[in-house]
């Protein structure tokens, strides 16, 4: 299987990439890790006229941790976050999500930003980054805008990206207390997209009260979803079984899955409930050092 012919530019700078996009219009596509785009081109589902390769642009690599939060460059790869021990203290959910994506070889190429731009409704980063309250920076030659991820993700394989824009950075606010987060995924086998993916993230204050909560869902709607009612139910309380059960039930209601070969709507909803409950319980255990269980 071979892609249809196309042109190729390896951008030497972000401005060059933006200029090419502005000039070429919708026929031009950004190439990041290529782990979604190239398979589609090989199957000839996608036939872009020109690829603008940004995967080695120094300006987009790596991340920065500041007092406000974490900024991920657009070509940070899944495997980098999987191994980023330095991020575990404040952003434990990142590493625990990364390890579930695709397989180790795909993780070595694919990027977090590429995942968001691709907007597969079963993609894992959408759910995890919604749970972390992330926002994205979009740049074109003429403007820069910052959107909450919730506004960026629109529909199946559809985002707020304009054809001349590049997603240049992902920002995650710094937690206002001790963060705990984990990702649970039901996949049919390694390398499968999520049947159901659930990201849970809570931030506790010194008295073990939840001060921030994020719950993101993958595979159960036309795009990654947040479960705001469930999040709200957790805030202001300690992480305890009663509240956890309530949040789990509310999260299941937020899910809007379709019945397909991966399971019925009722099944997927139930898995959301089970996962939210299990995930939060695991975080509760983890937050009590005397128990010291890690997910």
Partner 1 sequence: MEIAVTVNGQLRRADVEPRTLLVYLLRETFGLTGTHVGCDTTHCGACTVLLDEVPVKSCTVLAVQADGSSVMTVEGLETDGRLHPLQSAFSDHHGLQCGYCTPGMLMAAWALLRETPHPQPAEIRRALSGNLCRCTGYQNIVEAVADAAQRMAQEVG
Partner 2 sequence: MALELSEPRPLGKPIRRKEDARLIRGQGRYLDDIVLPGMLHLALVRSPYAHARIRRIDVQRAAALPGVHLVLTGQDLAAAGLAWMPTLAGDRQMVLAVDKVLFQYQEVAAVVAESRALAEDAAALVEVDYEPLPAVVDPYRALEPGSPILREDRDPPSNRIFHWEAGDRAATEAALARSAVVVRETVRMPRVHPAPLEPCGCIADYQRATGRLTWYVTSQAPHAHRTVLAMVAGIPEHKIRVVSPDVGGGFGNKVPVFPGYVAAIVAAMRLNRPVKWVETRTENLTSTNFARDYHMTVEIGADADGKVTALKVSTIADHGAFDAAADPTRFPAGLFSIVTGSYDFPVAFAEVDGVYTNKAPGGVAYRCSFRVTEASFLIERAMQSLALRLGMDPVALRLKNFIPPEKFPYHSPLGWTYDSGNYRATLERAMERIGYAALRQEQAERRARGELMGIGVSTFTEIVGAGPSHTFDILGIKMFDSCELRVHPTGKVLARLGTRHQGQGHETTFAQVIAEELGLTADDVLVEEGDTDTAPYGLGTYASRSTPTAGAAAAVAARRVRDKARRIAAHLLEVAEDDVEWDGTRFHPAGTPARGVTMAEVALAAYTNPPPGMEPGLEGTVYYDPPNLTFPNGAYLCVVDIDKGTSQVHVRRFVAVDDCGTVINPMVVEGQIHGGLTEGFAIAFLQEIAFDEQGNCLAPNFMEYLVPTAVETPQWETDRTVTPSPHHPIGAKGVGESPNVGSPAAFVNAVIDALAPLGVTHLDIPLYPWKIWEVLHERGVAE
Ligand X SMILES: Cc1cc2nc3c(=O)[nH]c(=O)nc-3n(C[C@H](O)[C@H](O)[C@H](O)COP(=O)(O)OP(=O)(O)OC[C@H]3O[C@@H](n4cnc5c(N)ncnc54)[C@H](O)[C@@H]3O)c2cc1C
**Which of 35, 97, 111, 182 forms a contact with partner 1 (CB under 8 A)?**
35
CA angle 129, 130, 133 (to 5 degrees): 90
Interaction of residue 7 with partner 1, rule CB under 8 A = yes
C-alpha count within 13 angstroms, C-beta hemisphere, residue 123: 28
Can you list the pairs that 140-146 forms with residues at least 24 positions away whose Cβ atoms lie under 8 Å? 140/18, 140/21, 140/22, 140/164, 140/165, 140/166, 141/15, 141/18, 141/19, 141/21, 141/22, 142/22, 146/171
What is the four-CA torsion angle of 30, 34, 35, 41, rounded to 10 degrees?
90
Identify which range of 49-57, 117-125, 139-147, 207-215 contacts partner 1 by CB under 8 A. Answer: 49-57
Which two three-digit tokens encode residue 2?
Answer: 């071979």
**Which of 86, 105, 154, 266 forms a contact with partner 1 (CB under 8 A)?**
105
Residue 206's binding partner out of partner 1, ligand X, partner 2, none, with CB under 5 to 8 Å set by partner kind: none
**Which of 97, 262, 279, 283 forms a contact with partner 2 (CB under 8 A)?**
262
The residue among 69 and 197 lying less far from partner 2, judged by its C-beta, is 197
DSSP calls for 9-57? EE-SSHHHHHHHHHHHGGGEEEESS-TTHHHHHHTTS---SEEEE-TT-
Identify which range of 97-105, 132-140, 202-210, 224-232 contacts partner 1 by CB under 8 A. Answer: 97-105
Interaction of residue 188 with partner 1, rule CB under 8 A = no
Least Å distance, CB 5 to ligand X, is 18
Secondary structure element (H or E) that encloses residue 29, with its range? strand 28-31
Interaction of residue 211 with partner 2, rule CB under 8 A = no
Contact call for residues 127 and 89 (beta carbons, < 8 A): no
Q: Show the 3-state SS of 198-242.
A: EEEEEEECCCCEEEEEEEEEECCCCCCEECHHHHHHHCCCECCHH
Residue 267's binding partner out of partner 2, ligand X, partner 1, none, with CB under 5 to 8 Å set by partner kind: partner 2
Residue 262's binding partner out of partner 1, partner 2, ligand X, none, with CB under 5 to 8 Å set by partner kind: partner 2
Binding mask 68-107 for partner 2 (x = CB under 8 A): -----------------------------------x----
Least Å distance, CB 32 to ligand X, is 3
The residue among 15 and 103 lying less far from partner 2, judged by its C-beta, is 103
Identify which range of 87-95, 111-119, 152-160, 266-274 contacts partner 2 by CB under 8 A. Answer: 266-274
**Which of 61, 71, 108, 209 forms a contact with partner 1 (CB under 8 A)?**
108
Contact call for residues 255 and 220 (beta carbons, < 8 A): yes
**Could you list the residues that contact ligand X (CB under 6 A)?**
29-37, 39, 74, 101-102, 106, 110-111, 113-115, 117-118, 123-125, 161, 166-167, 191, 193
The helix/strand count (H/E) of the chain reads as 11, 14
Using CA atoms, how far apart are residues 15 and 7, in angstroms rounded to an integer? 19
**Which of 45, 190, 206, 291 forms a contact with partner 2 (CB under 8 A)?**
190
Which stretches of the chain bind partner 2, using CB under 8 A? 1-2, 4-5, 43-44, 103, 186, 188-192, 261-264, 266-267, 270-271, 274-275, 278
């Amino acid at each position: 299987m071979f892609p249809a012919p196309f042109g190729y530019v390896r951008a030497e700078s972000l401005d060059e990439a933006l200029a090419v996009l502005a000039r070429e219009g919708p026929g031009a596509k950004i190439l990041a890790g290529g782990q979604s785009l190239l398979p589609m081109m090989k199957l000839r589902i996608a036939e872009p006229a020109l690829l603008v390769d940004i995967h080695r642009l120094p300006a987009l690599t790596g991340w920065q941790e500041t007092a406000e939060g974490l900024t991920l460059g657009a070509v940070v790869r899944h495997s980098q976050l999987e191994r980023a021990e330095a991020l575990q203290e404040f952003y434990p959910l990142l590493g625990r999500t990364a390890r579930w994506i695709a397989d180790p070889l795909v993780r070595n190429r694919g990027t977090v930003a590429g995942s968001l731009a691709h907007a597969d409704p079963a993609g894992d980063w959408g759910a995890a980054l919604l749970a972390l309250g992330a926002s994205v920076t979009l740049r074109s030659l003429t403007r820069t805008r910052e959107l909450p991820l919730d506004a960026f993700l629109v529909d199946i394989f559809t985002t707020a990206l304009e054809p001349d824009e590049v997603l240049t950075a992902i920002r995650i606010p710094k937690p206002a207390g001790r963060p705990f987060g984990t990702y649970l995924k039901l996949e049919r086998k390694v390398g499968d997209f999520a049947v159901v993916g659930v990201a849970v993230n809570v931030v506790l204050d010194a008295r073990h009260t939840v001060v921030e909560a994020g719950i993101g869902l993958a595979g159960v709607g036309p795009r990654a979803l947040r479960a705001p009612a469930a999040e709200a139910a957790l805030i202001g309380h300690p992480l305890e079984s009663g509240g956890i059960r309530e949040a789990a039930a509310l999260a299941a209601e937020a899910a809007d899955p379709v019945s397909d070969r991966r399971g019925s709507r009722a099944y997927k909803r139930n898995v959301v409930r089970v996962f939210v409950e299990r995930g939060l319980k695991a975080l509760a255990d983890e937050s009590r050092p005397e128990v010291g269980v890690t997910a």
